[in-house]
Amino acid sequence: MSFVGIIKANQIQYNEYDLMHTNFTDEKIHNQLDELITMEKINSNDELMQCIFKTLFSSISQNSEKPERSDNLDDIYKNFAIHTGNVSHAYNDLYQICNLYITKEMFEEMKNTNLKVKYNGACSFLSDIKMPIFGDAVIFKIDTFNNNNKLIDITKEDIISQYKQKFVHKGIVVSQNGNIE
C-alpha cells in the first residue's frame, strides 16, 4: 500500500516580479498548494493505473450535452496521450507526474467536440516538460534502490518540497576575498 498525490487544476502563474525568494517560503507555498492536493491510497500497480486514468479523464468536462462529432466520448478519450514526466530524482527517490498530453490535433478535436480542460499551473512548474499542463495530475514517488522501482508513499509535504525546489536553490557563494557561504 502506498499513497499518491492528486493535484487539481489551478490558475497558479508567476510574473517576473513574483519570482523572489520571499514568495517561496514553506508557509506561502503550503497555503497556495494545500487545498489543491489530495492523497489517494494505492494497493497495486493496477490500482495506480486506474487512479491515473480516472483522475486525468475526470478533469475533462463537456460544454454541451453531446459532442458534435462523436456519439461516444470513449472515441475521443482514446485519442488522448498521457505523459509521465520527471519532477526530480535525488538519491533513491524518483518523483514522477502523470498528466494529459494535449497535442495540437487533440486540441482541435476538443474544440470541435465542445470538451474543455482547465489549466494546471502548479503541475506546469513541477513537470520536466516545457509546456503548459491541463487538467488534474497524479504525482507519485518511486524508490529506485537496487533497481527495484517500488512505489512508495508520497506526502503533501514531499510535494510542497518538490515544488519549492523548482524555485529556491541551494548554492555556494565564494566572495572575492575568498569567503565561502
Longest Cα–Cα distance of the chain, Å, equals 72
Rounded to 5 degrees, what angle do the CA atoms 102, 50, 88 make? 60
Instruction: Please tell me what DSSP assigns to residue 23.
Output: G
Strand-pairing partners, residue 124, are: none
% of the chain beyond a pLDDT of 70: 90
Residue 104 CB-half CA count within 13 A: 0
Position with higher pLDDT, 103 vs 54: 54
Question: Per-residue pLDDT tens for 112-149?
Answer: 877 788 999 999 999 998 888 999 999 999 999 877 88
Question: Per-residue pLDDT tens for 14-55?
Answer: 888 888 877 888 899 999 999 999 999 999 888 999 999 899
Residue 86 CB-half CA count within 13 A: 5
Position with higher pLDDT, 85 vs 69: 85
What are the backbone angles phi and psi of residue 32, rounded to the nearest 5°?
-75, -40
